[in-house]
A and B are shown apart, each in its own frame.
Chain A
Amino acid sequence: MGQGMKRVVSLKINGREVEEVVPDNLLLVDFLRDRQGLTGTKTGCDGGECGACTVLVNGRARLSCITLAASCDGSDIETIEGQAARGRLSALQRAFHQHLGAQCGFCTPGMIMASEALLRQNPSPDEAAIRTALGGNLCRCTGYVKIIKSVQAAAAEARS
């Protein structure tokens, strides 16, 4: 067994500067949920298969359950908690609410963060692009029709 180590990481979480000592083997999802109290990010499959733990690292979607917190030193992290601004839900959050994109809600934070990454790169995605971008996010309640409609609605709202 290897000798573990700790290090100080400085990163930004939802715009807030954070500096903390983390063990090298700490996962980003555990850092966010257990150390930062940001439990909106979900642990689903716990092995990189379901996308429920998706967060943004430097604007790109990442699976926080297979990302080491120590490797995020200097990064800009965004989670579902950072999406609402001044008490107003983000366009995607509103669209998921209005178009019934969430059922049990467990996959929703990951769905919204993966969609957020997509809309930042491609503000007018067609259905195929949305399906591709959400290919790594599983919903076990039902199909994906309402989820895709929600992303389309958010994109349409941003364009109007």
Chain B
Amino acid sequence: MSEAMAPFRLIRPASLDEAMAALAVEGAQPCSGGTDLLVRLRKGLLEPAALVDLTGIAALRDVVCDESGMWVGAGATLATLARNPDLAAYPAVIQAIDSVAGPTHREVATLGGNLCQDPRCVYLNQSHWWRKSNQFCLKYRGDTCHVAPKGNRCRAAFSGDVAPALMVHRAQIELAGPAGARQMPLAEFYNEDGAAHTALQPGEIVVAVHLPPPGPVSEYGKVRVRGSVDYPLAGVAVACEPTPDGLRFTLAVTGTNSKPLLVDIPDPLGEDADAFFAALVKTVQKAVSPQRTTTIAPHYRRLSVAALAGRIARRLAADAP
């Protein structure tokens, strides 16, 4: 018999209204594919009174593509999205989806769940007895962050692959909650705090992601120990778009901070390409803030994600029309 989860009630609403009502009850936790949440439940990292299973809500699985771009329901599974021909116009998004965990996870893991994925830390994602023997940590029952003991916030690293890819394509996220629906740029959905990394309020869920019509070419790259299953030690999405001033690059990095980080590259590609890409690599190195949240050294993650960003940017520039 596996390690027991604390008891909870499973509620399976068939509509968004039913889900909103179920989530209004204290202690209710939304759940979709469960590939992140059930593992945390099993490790005793949360003890919800009720799990509200959103997978029965057909409207959340819709994917619509028209002249205004793509509307992707938060309940669409990553496996379904990877096979969606319209999403192929956003290459980094498809590449990021294909690099999430393993194929069996992607069968049930949803877009919304991936965007809300809990930030990870080597001091947090451990068994209960391991954490207890370490006096727990700032995020859960303890009072000290073992990564940055003098700090006053949780440094767990956001480790989702899909968010940075959507961010370089300027995606908007749609939320629904007790106070109604709201929408914001995906980059603004996240906070630099491993213990409260999204803008979600109690009872609020992600409903959809809206992508503007395809424009930039893009690519997502991921640094990890193994070729499959692993979370990113760091990952970077790069988009490249021609403007009258030259090629402009947009970058977003995951795995280094408590939120996926948009990295601003103010100038377009100029005459001196080598100097430009060297500066781009330096900009990424300075922008990211990897901490001791994995067994791999933060410095390696900083250098490797910056190098990867430079390599991808050069490749996109070479292929640009």
- With A60-B107, A66-B38 known as contacts, the answer to whether A136 contacts B101 (CB < 8 A) is yes
Q: Which of B3, B7, B228 contacts A1 (CB 8 A)?
A: B7
Q: Which of B53, B101, B104, B227 contacts A62 (CB 8 A)?
A: B104
Q: Are A3 and B49 in contact (CB under 8 A)?
A: yes
**Bound complex: CA of A25 vs CA of B50, how far in Å?**
10
**Bound complex: CA of A63 vs CA of B35, how far in Å?**
9
Spot the interface stretch: B40-48, B131-139, B282-290: B40-48
Which residue of chain A has the shortest Cβ distance to B7 in the bound complex?
A4
Q: Are A61 and B34 in contact (CB under 8 A)?
A: no
Q: Are B2 and A135 in contact (CB under 8 A)?
A: no
Closest-CB distance, B54 to chain A (whole angstroms): 11
Q: Does A114 contact B (CB under 8 A)?
A: yes
Q: Are A71 and B229 in contact (CB under 8 A)?
A: no
Q: Are B107 and A27 in contact (CB under 8 A)?
A: no
Q: Does A65 contact B (CB under 8 A)?
A: yes
Q: Does B129 contact A (CB under 8 A)?
A: no
- With A30-B2, A47-B43 known as contacts, the answer to whether A61 contacts B104 (CB < 8 A) is yes
Give chain A's interface residue range (CB within 8 Å of chain B).
35 or more
Q: Does A17 contact B (CB under 8 A)?
A: no
**Bound complex: CA of A4 vs CA of B103, how far in Å?**
31
Residues in A with CB closer than 8 Å to B8 are: 2, 4, 24-25
Q: Does B55 contact A (CB under 8 A)?
A: yes
| Residue picked from A27, A30, A34, most chain B C-beta under 10 Å | A27
Q: Are A63 and B2 in contact (CB under 8 A)?
A: no
- With A1-B7, A62-B107, A66-B39 known as contacts, the answer to whether A135 contacts B34 (CB < 8 A) is no
Closest-CB distance, B4 to chain A (whole angstroms): 8
Q: Are A48 and B6 in contact (CB under 8 A)?
A: no
Q: Are B103 and A2 in contact (CB under 8 A)?
A: no
Q: Are A136 and B9 in contact (CB under 8 A)?
A: no
Residues in B with CB closer than 8 Å to A54 are: 104
Residues in A with CB closer than 8 Å to B55 are: 71
Residues in B with CB closer than 8 Å to A47 are: 39, 42-43
Q: Does A126 contact B (CB under 8 A)?
A: no
Residues in A with CB closer than 8 Å to B35 are: 48, 63, 66
Residues A27-54 near B (CB distance < 8 A): 27, 29-30, 34, 43, 46-49, 51, 54
Q: Are A2 and B38 in contact (CB under 8 A)?
A: no
| Residue picked from B6, B9, B103, B229, most chain A C-beta under 10 Å | B103
Q: Are B12 and A2 in contact (CB under 8 A)?
A: no
**Bound complex: CA of A48 vs CA of B7, how far in Å?**
20
Which residue of chain B has the shortest Cβ distance to A70 in the bound complex?
B10
Residues in B with CB closer than 8 Å to A7 are: 10
Residues in B with CB closer than 8 Å to A153 are: none
| Residue picked from B7, B43, B47, B49, most chain A C-beta under 10 Å | B7
Q: Does A23 contact B (CB under 8 A)?
A: yes
Which residue of chain A has the shortest Cβ distance to B228 in the bound complex?
A135
Q: Which of A3, A43, A49 contacts B2 (CB 8 A)?
A: A43
Which residue of chain B has the shortest Cβ distance to A61 in the bound complex?
B104
Which residue of chain B has the shortest Cβ distance to A23 in the bound complex?
B7
Q: Does B108 contact A (CB under 8 A)?
A: yes
Q: Does B314 contact A (CB under 8 A)?
A: no
Q: Does B1 contact A (CB under 8 A)?
A: yes
- With A51-B104, A68-B38 known as contacts, the answer to whether A135 contacts B9 (CB < 8 A) is no
Which residue of chain B has the shortest Cβ distance to A66 in the bound complex?
B38
Q: Are A5 and B9 in contact (CB under 8 A)?
A: yes
Closest-CB distance, B28 to chain A (whole angstroms): 9
Which 9 A/B pairs are nearest by Cβ-Cβ distance?
Answer: A136-B102, A4-B7, A2-B49, A135-B228, A24-B10, A2-B8, A66-B38, A136-B104, A25-B5
Q: List 8 A-B contacts (CB under 8 A).
A: A24-B7, A29-B2, A30-B2, A43-B2, A61-B103, A65-B2, A71-B12, A138-B229
B interface residues with partner A (beta carbon < 8 Å) = 1-10, 12, 27, 34-35, 38-39, 42-43, 47-51, 53, 55, 101-105, 107-108, 227-229
**10 new A-B contacts at CB < 8 Å, known A2-B6, A5-B9, A24-B10:** A1-B47, A3-B9, A46-B42, A47-B42, A51-B102, A66-B35, A68-B34, A114-B103, A135-B228, A137-B102
A interface residues with partner B (beta carbon < 8 Å) = 1-5, 7, 23-25, 27, 29-30, 34, 43, 46-49, 51, 54, 60-63, 65-68, 70-71, 114, 132-133, 135-138
